[in-house]
Amino acid sequence: MTEFRWVILLGGLSFFFFGLTYARNALQLLAGDKLRLVITRLTENRFLALGLGTLITVVLQSSTVTILMLMSLAATGLLTLPQAFGVILGADIGTTLVVILLSIKKIADYALLLVVIGFVLEWVARGSKQMKYAGRILFGFGMVFYGMQLMTQTSGPLAASPHAQTLFGILASHPVLILISSIFFTILVQTSAATIGMAIALGFSGLLTLPVAIPIVLGANVGTCFSAIVVSWTSNTNGKRVAIAHFFVKASGVLLAMPFIAQIATLIEKCSQQVTHWLPMVEPGVAGHIVVVHLFFNVALAVLFLPFLHFGVWIVSKLVPEVQKEETFGPKYLDNTALETPPLAFAQAKREILRIANLAYDLYRDCPKMFDPSFEIDKISADIEMRDDKIDLLDREVRFYLAKISQEGLSETQAAQEMALLSITADLEGIGDIISKELAGLARKKVTKGRLFSQQGWKDIQKIHQAGMDDFSLAISVFASPNEELARKMIRQGEHFDHLEQQLRQSHIQRLHAGSPEAFETSSIHLDVLGNLRRINAHLVHIAQLSLQT
């Protein structure tokens, strides 16, 4: 290419972004729920946390996504700050993989081949999800390398431009300006890989020297923290601390490195000369040096902070103190930072739905009090209605939360899981409505007309209610830990409940035939109570069936 063209540079950058995002989404789909399980099973062992953080980010190829996952887990109490701190250090190391690949210039020669192979794999692998996702990953990385190739080719003519040489010569004497520019560019594009990728492309073209590249790498490392910081504004204290911990680590490293840019550049160039002397086939050049800076910077952060991890936790806790405020009722586990990773978002939604299930269980347990003359109907009805309002609020929040998850990023299994969670929430909300509206209305009607159940009739209602309590406990157990055998047991108990309800209806009719005055007075109320309890039990059976998909 004989002349520089902005449209080709921007086109290469666009291919780079598209490929990176496409490959990252496919990697998340391929990893599935395993990422969440790996993170939540972390121990206090800082070295294990470091290794897992590196592994997870190698899979996701985004430290930002890893940090957002950590923020979500910390915000909902599944992860402590010391555990998260170790993963953060590992995540920073894990991001270097794609940068290392970008520095191998010959890979770009096979970029379009990767695109073709990836496209063919996705097209032919209709019966294998793993093969389809593998195809998407290859296609995405092919686009990344093709974008790099375009950026390298179009920036080549700049090396011969006197104006470009003058500009970069001026920048070389202003490393702080380069650092700030790199930070803002990374914030704009929301990925450090793009910033460092452009630096590598300029390094291949011969336009960029190592002393100019080092502040670019440092700025990219700081700039990548800001997406998580912005998202943390809507999180709680623990979520904010994870985001600030990431920024604190990066910023501390940059402050330590900036005064020694010349020395760092000299050291890396000398080491490179020694490597080339012993291995003549290895000539890293400026592009390779940029990768070494990025890798060594993040490894150095791990070496520096890992021994003093608890001290770092103490500093971050002081920077983001616990805020004491009056707690208002609302969702506890629906953290928006988890939306970037559907398996984690589903796990958070499921925890919130378990809260709804427990509220509905307590409501069901107390509903007979409305028919018991020893309780004041107005007081107990108001309490029932207030508690049902809480169920309605959480139901609405769960639905809105799940609706925020992009359908395009879901596998077929995950889409079915989302629908199952929505249906279970609707079932629980329906149970609350039956109790607060139907059963409460029947109880008020009974009191208004001054009616009393017969002694045997009241025992029958208590008996079927107790059977419903047992079914409710079993349904919650199936939802909390999906188990096919327990689900089948729930279905059998549901059938038993239906038979019991029919038997109790027959018993009521027999009391009518026997001329029981209480049975005559409360007949419609009694039968409606039985019918509504049966409707509630049908919801419980449906919940158990759907739970196998969650």
Q: What is the DSSP string of 193-204?
A: HHHHHHHHHHHH
- What is the pTM assigned to this prediction? 0.67
Structure letter (DSSP) for residue 3: S
Average pLDDT for residues 492-502, to the nearest whole number? 94
pLDDT of residue 468: 94
- Angle, helices 261-278 vs 285-305, to 10°: value is 120
39 and 76 Cβ atoms separated by less than 8 Å: no
Look at the chain and count its residues. Answer: 550
Here the tokens at position 168 are 């970069």
Secondary structure of residue 397 in the 3-state scheme: helix
* Structural domains of the chain in order of their starting residue, each with its CATH number: 6-319 (no CATH), 336-547 (1.20.58.220)
Integer-rounded Cα Rg, in Å, for the chain is 31
Both structure tokens of 265? 């550049």
- What is the pLDDT at residue 478? 94
206: which DSSP letter? T
Query: Cα–Cα distance between 175 and 181 in angstroms, integer?
Result: 10
* pLDDT value at residue 397: 94
- The more confidently predicted of residues 185 and 78 is 185
Please, which residues have CB within 8 angstroms of residue 269's CB and are 6 or more apart in sequence?
210, 289
Give the pLDDT confidence of 86-126 residue by residue, as tens digits: 888 888 888 777 677 766 666 777 788 888 888 888 887 76
What's the pLDDT tens digit per position in 39-72? 555 555 677 778 777 877 776 666 777 787 778 7
Average pLDDT over all residues of the chain:
83
Q: Residue 530: enclosing H or E segment and its boundaries?
A: helix 523-547
CA angle 188, 191, 193 (to 5 degrees): 130
Tell me: pLDDT of 450 over 80.
yes
- What's the DSSP call for residue 375? S
Buried b (16+ CB within 10 A) or exposed e, 453-466: bbebbbebbeebbe
Question: Does residue 43 come out as left (phi exceeding 0), alpha (psi in the -120 to 50 range) or beta?
Answer: beta
